[in-house]
Each structure stands twice: as structure tokens, then as C-alpha cells.
């Protein structure tokens, strides 16, 4: 008995062809790369529409109190004008204290009372200065000098911290060439000490 060929009478199966590595595989990788790029593009675009996460908190309330400006003058020395003659001077001191809570820039300026004898004022020279600790106020004290009515130290004469005190000196000098017609005549003089808050 003869053996039959197992393939006889049957269709021969076509051999399975494997794709060559090269263009076919390369095309697949390229397509995959393009697809990934497209997806990334969509994600990047869509991501711009997402809301950002956030949070907030309320700070506790603070109490704010405004500062205050306060200035007092004390221990004013009386000027003995009875001893005032041509070329002579009298001097006196005063204490200024900052009673407020902010630093003050002090300014001393002269004024002219209505009853003043202008002739006398025009023969007087006023000098004022802030004394250093332990300093004395004498006829030779130097500082801001002018006729009493026009004396003005300016706002930056001295700075006074809150609670601090300073001693000021005032000297009045009668001109050495003052005429004898001024004998026995009087002229009240006055000065205003003011304080302005110093910017922090």
C-alpha cells in the first residue's frame, strides 16, 4: 500500500510573509510618533482652560492709634532789662519738652507786640541757641541772631524726640551805638516756639 503525499489534493498554504524591517516598520513608528505629538498638542491646549488652585485667609484686625504732638515751655528765666545799656546783654533760659508721641522739629520765631516801641526794637539784637548738656547761657553764646521781630530759627532748629526735653538760651543785646533818647523807654518782646512732626 503506497503512502499518499499529505499535501496531495490540498491547496498549498501560501507562506506567511514577514514584513521587512525597513520602510514598513519605519512608517509605523513615524505614524505612532505623529499620533503622540498630536495627543500632546491636544493636552497642552486643553490644559490652558483648567482653573488654578487657590486659597485665601483673612488677617486678624489690627488696632491703629494716631500719634499726638505736644509741646510745653517751662522754667523761663526773667530777663533783667534794668541792667541793659548800650553794648550790654542780658540772657535767660527756658526748657522745652515734647509731651506727645511723635518727634518734633522745633522752631523759634520772634513776634512784635502791638505796644512795642519800634525805636527800641531796632536797637536790640536777639540771639538764641539750644544748649548742650551742662552748657551755660551767657552774653557770648552764639546761635541764630536777628532783630527780635524778625528772628526765625527755621523748622530744623533742633529735633525733639517724644518725651525728650532741651534747654534753650535767649540773649538780648542793645547796640553799642544806641542813642541816649532810648533811656527809660520800654518795648516788650515775644517769641513763639512751635513744633512740627518730623517725617519718619
pLDDT tens digits along 87-118: 999 999 999 999 999 999 999 999 887 777 88
Is position 127 within any domain? yes
pLDDT-derived band of residue 12, with 50, 70 and 90 as boundaries? Answer: low
Overall average pLDDT of the 161-166 stretch: 94
State the CATH number of the domain containing residue 141. Answer: 2.60.40
Prediction pTM value:
0.66
- pLDDT per position as a tens digit, 36-80: 444 444 444 445 555 677 777 877 887 877 788 999 999 998 887
**Cβ contacts of residue 155 below 8 Å, gap of 6+?**
105, 107, 196
Give the pLDDT of residue 82.
74
- pLDDT per position as a tens digit, 167-185: 999 999 999 999 988 888 8
Residue 37: φ, ψ to 5°: -65, -40
Is position 10 within any domain? no
Task: State the burial class of residue 10 (Cβ atoms within 10 Å of its Cβ: 0-12, 13-18, 19+).
Answer: exposed
Give the pLDDT of residue 89.
93
pLDDT averaged over every residue in the chain: 79
Is position 155 within any domain? yes
The single residue listed with the C-alpha cell 514598513 is 24
Give the pLDDT of residue 72.
93
Is position 52 within any domain? no
* Cα distance between residue 71 and residue 41, in whole Å: 74
Is position 50 within any domain? no
Give the pLDDT of residue 24.
46
Number of domains in the chain: 1
**Cβ contacts of residue 170 below 8 Å, gap of 6+?**
79, 91, 92, 93, 94, 126, 127, 128, 137, 191
Domain that holds residue 110: 71-197
Give the pLDDT of residue 166.
95
Is position 139 within any domain? yes
Please, are residues 132 and 178 in contact by the beta-carbon 8 Å criterion? no
Is position 58 within any domain? no
Is position 46 within any domain? no
- In three-state secondary structure terms, 31 is helix
- Given a cut of 80, whether residue 81 has pLDDT beyond it is no
Amino acid at each position: 500500500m503506497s503512502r499518499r503525499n499529505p499535501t496531495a489534493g490540498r491547496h498549498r498554504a501560501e507562506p506567511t510573509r514577514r514584513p521587512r524591517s525597513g520602510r514598513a516598520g519605519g512608517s509605523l513608528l513615524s505614524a505612532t510618533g505623529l499620533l503622540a505629538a498630536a495627543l500632546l498638542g491636544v493636552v497642552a491646549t486643553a490644559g490652558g482652560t483648567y482653573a488654578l488652585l487657590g486659597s485665601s485667609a483673612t488677617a486678624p484686625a489690627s488696632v491703629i492709634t494716631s500719634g499726638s504732638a505736644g509741646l510745653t515751655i517751662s522754667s523761663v528765666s526773667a530777663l533783667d532789662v534794668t541792667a541793659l545799656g548800650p553794648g550790654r546783654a542780658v540772657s535767660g533760659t527756658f526748657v522745652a519738652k515734647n509731651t506727645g508721641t511723635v518727634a518734633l522739629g522745633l522752631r523759634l520765631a520772634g513776634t512784635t507786640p502791638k505796644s512795642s516801641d519800634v525805636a527800641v526794637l531796632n536797637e536790640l539784637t536777639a540771639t538764641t541757641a539750644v544748649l548742650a548738656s551742662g552748657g551755660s547761657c551767657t552774653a557770648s553764646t552764639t546761635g541764630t541772631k536777628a532783630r527780635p521781630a524778625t528772628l526765625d530759627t527755621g523748622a530744623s532748629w533742633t529735633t525733639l524726640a517724644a518725651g525728650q526735653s532741651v534747654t534753650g538760651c535767649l540773649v538780648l543785646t542793645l547796640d553799642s551805638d544806641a542813642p541816649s533818647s532810648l533811656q527809660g523807654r520800654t518795648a516788650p518782646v515775644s517769641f513763639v516756639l512751635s513744633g512740627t512732626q518730623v517725617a519718619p
